[in-house]
Amino acid sequence: MLSEDVDDGRIVVITLNRPHAGNAITTEMGTRLTEAVEDVAVRTSVRAVVLTGAGDRAFSIGSDLRQRNQMTKEEWLRQRQQFDRTLYTVRQLRKPIIAAVNGVAYGGGSELAQSCDFIIASETASFAQPEAMIGLAAGGGSPVFLPRLLGRGPRCRR
């Protein structure tokens, strides 16, 4: 579900490894990602982190909605708390973390990329926040972070 490679001890590559499911993030995968980032935070030899998705179709399509369909409301809220912790942990890492985005980064996947210090996107990368189309709010920070990343658009003239 999550793999980690170390390049000469200085760069850690963390890969969301569920290409068959668009690298959708399950509760367990979110927990493992948080633990991996926390581990990197205390490893003094590590200078930077690259976060990517396996395969060429998706960086991540966000939360695994199939898993969510099976959850009680309490389990869903617990998962939401875990994902919030994951995003917070990524944002607080005191080492550069780079999102290497190939393919789609939708919903929570887009928010995960936005939580990184840098985003390097391939020509096939696309980003979206489709939560509103299924009745959800973008609760991982996009309403705050996306305008900062994109900047102000051109002003309309009367």
State pLDDT tens for residues 19-66: 999 999 999 999 999 999 999 999 999 999 999 999 999 999 988 878
Please say if 35 is a catalytic residue.
no
pLDDT at 146: 60
Render pLDDT for 75-110 as a digit per residue (tens, 0 to 9).
Answer: 888 888 899 999 999 999 999 999 999 999 998 999
20 contact partners, CB below 8 Å, separation of at least 6: none
Of 4, 28, 75, 111, the catalytic one is 111
pLDDT at 70: 85
Domain 2-150 carries which CATH code? 3.90.226.10
Please say if 111 is a catalytic residue.
yes
Amino acid at 133: M
Of 28, 38, 123, 131, the catalytic one is 131
Cβ neighbours around 81 below 10 Å, total? 11
Domain boundaries, the chain: 2-150
Would the pLDDT of 71 be above 90?
A: no
d(CA 62, CA 134): 13
The residues with which 13 forms a beta bridge, in sequence order, are 5, 50
Among candidate residues 59, 80, 96, the one with its CA nearest the CA of residue 140: 80
